[in-house]
Amino acid sequence: MKHLVEFVRATGVRWLWPLLAGVLAANMALAVLAFANATPVIQAVVLTIAATTVIGTALLVKLLARTALSLEEARQDDEAAYLHLREAIDEMPAAIELFDEQDRVVVYNRRMEEMYPQLEKSMVLGQTFEEQLRSTAQPGWPEGATPVEQEAWINQRLNERGATDGPQLQRLPDGDWAYLYETRTTSGWVATVRVNVTEMIRQREALDLARLQARVADIRLREATDAMPAGLEMYDTEGRLAFYNQQLLQMYPEMAQALELAVEKGHTYEDLLRFSIRTGLVPEAQGREDEYVVEVMNSLGISDEPRVVATPSGRWLHVYEKRTRSGGVVSVRLDVTASIEAGRALADANEQLARLSTTDGLTGVANRRFFDLSLSSEWQRSTRNREPLSLLMIDIDHFKLYNDRYGHLAGDECLRRVAQVLDDCIRRSGEVVARYGGEEFAVLLPGTNIEAAVMIAQRCLDGTVQASIPHADSPTSPRLTLSIGVATLVPVPGSNSTTLVEHADIALYEAKRAGRARLQRASAVA
């Protein structure tokens, strides 16, 4: 009886009960008839038929009951699987819809409701894709669309329905972004999946903005570095050229192609240095190329002092090279040509000033100031080395009479000619001819003994005679003559250089008293 009840409940077959009642009634009628008038044989047959009918009916009912239970279990399994499937679809992070062959919605998940909250749930199932499009297409959607543009957008979506290979990027009504995947099955159904990619789009937009800002910053940096009055190079941690500015190209136009190729091919500082040496851009490296490269590479980025280099165009540069925190190298080249030229001009001016301050303006030989400085210096050196120091004191004989006869301009020319004769008589470094005052000259001879000093004095006398300068009013000779006093001393500690001058001056006085036009040795000789 339990199986019959389950069968009826599972199948809904309400006629089973009347059928069973009819079978029982028929069997009972046959039994009554058989026992009422029939022969024993007929009764046996009737009873056999009735029993067979009852048994068959019972077996049929049992079979139907088992079938009903199997169907019920299958239905319950299907319902459970469907519920699990719906739960799984609802939990998926993407919005899912399934459309039948008439493009009507047959199933969708919770994510779809969240993505399109304006959809009425009761209207979604059974809607066609086109109806769905039109219900979601609010005024101005897609973003800023006119009614005509909106209609065109709907037609385009219908034409593309299930025909695209990749995802379509769509803007959702709430401003979010989604990737739409549409797949048409072999039976004509369409499965759609929408994945919210708003965060990815925002990250991409932020990345694009950052890249744009980086490009703008790079352009501004390049503009700033190109405007700098200095050549700039930047090398990475591997020593490869990463950046250079336009000012560097102006300093080295011959390097333009090499610099461009260096950035493209990853050439290093040393590669560029060797290239510049090979092309003759580094004159100071010629003949010692490898040694120069080693010197530069060993000091690269560690010296606080700039290197001074010359360019082929004749410019002078200060090269500052420093290492960055990351291990790269920044090289800055400043044009210091103006400063160097100004320094050279100043040095030349100082040299000229020094020369003027120590040179007699009329004769061109040393003046009295330079003579005093030289005498003091050589006196000290001779004292240390215990060497002889000689001095010639020279006077032009009767020079006043020369001026009176020929005039002061001729007298000045006479002083210049005598100075030239005396200067031609000295030959060693350190020997000094000086105008001591008026028509008087002095010749300082370091490391010279008295005999050598006398020989030089005689050379001066002979040179004056050879010059043959007329002196018509001279009581000594019709040609200009000199009187020379010669003195030699070996200075001792504590002595004074004026002693040598005094001895030479006394000797000069004696030469004049003896008749002039001669030399006289000092009586005090070391």
Class of domain 359-521: alpha beta
6 is catalytic: no
Q: Looking only at Cα atoms, what is the longest distance across the chain?
A: 214
DSSP state of 526: -
The DSSP line for 43-65 is: HHHHHHHHHHHHHHHHHHHHHHH
Write down the pLDDT at residue 466: 95
Least confident of 84-93, 232-241, 345-354, 375-384: 345-354
486, pLDDT greater than 90: yes
What is the share, in percent, of the chain residues with pLDDT greater than 70? 84
Write down the pLDDT at residue 223: 81
pTM over 0.75: no
Q: In sequence order, what are the residues at sequence separation of 6 or more whose Cβ sits closer than 8 angstroms to the Cβ of residue 263?
A: 241, 242, 243, 244
Residues linked to residue 196 through DSSP beta bridges, in sequence order: 178
| Angle at the Cα of 475 from the Cα atoms of 473 and 481, rounded to 5 degrees | 85
Residues linked to residue 243 through DSSP beta bridges, in sequence order: 234
Residues linked to residue 94 through DSSP beta bridges, in sequence order: 195
The structure tokens 């002061």 sit at 408
Q: 94-141+149-196 maps to which CATH number?
A: 3.30.450.20
More confident residue, 526 or 353: 353
**pLDDT tens-digit map of 445-456:** 999 999 999 999
- Which residue out of 439, 440, 502, 510 is catalytically annotated? 439
Write down the pLDDT at residue 507: 96
Amino acid occupying residue 371? F
Q: For residues 294 and 307, what is the distance between their CA atoms, to the nearest angstrom? A: 15
Provide the mean pLDDT of the chain: 83
DSSP state of 48: H
Q: Read off the pLDDT band of 524 (50, 70, 90).
A: low
Over range 460-489, report the average pLDDT: 96
Write down the pLDDT at residue 72: 74
106, pLDDT greater than 80: yes
- Does domain 228-339 fall under CATH 3.40.50.2300? My reply is no
Question: Are 228-339 and 359-521 in the same CATH fold?
Answer: no
Spans of all domains in the chain: 2-86, 94-141+149-196, 228-339, 359-521
Joined together, the tokens standing for residue 214 give 């980086």
Does residue 430 come out as left (phi exceeding 0), alpha (psi in the -120 to 50 range) or beta?
left
More confident residue, 378 or 58: 378
Number of other residues whose CB lies within 10 A of the CB of residue 399:
19
Write down the pLDDT at residue 326: 87
101, pLDDT greater than 80: yes
380, pLDDT greater than 90: yes
Nearest one of 315, 332, 334 to 323, comparing CA atoms: 332
306, pLDDT greater than 90: no
The DSSP line for 257-294 is: HHHHHHHHHT-BHHHHHHHHHHTT--GGGTT-HHHHHH
- Total residues belonging to the chain: 526
Q: Read off the pLDDT band of 511 (50, 70, 90).
A: very high
**pLDDT tens-digit map of 158-188:** 887 777 777 888 777 777 888 888 888 888 8
User: Please, how many CA atoms are within 13 Å of residue 125, restricted to the half-sphere of its CB?
Assistant: 6
Q: Read off the pLDDT band of 435 (50, 70, 90).
A: very high
The structure tokens 């399109």 sit at 116
Write down the pLDDT at residue 480: 96
Nearest one of 409, 433, 437, 430 to 420, comparing CA atoms: 433
State which of 53-57, 148-152, 367-371 shows the largest mean pLDDT.
Answer: 367-371
Write down the pLDDT at residue 92: 80
DSSP state of 104: B
Least confident of 62-66, 312-316, 415-419, 422-426: 62-66
The alpha carbons of the chain give a radius of gyration, in whole angstroms, of: 63
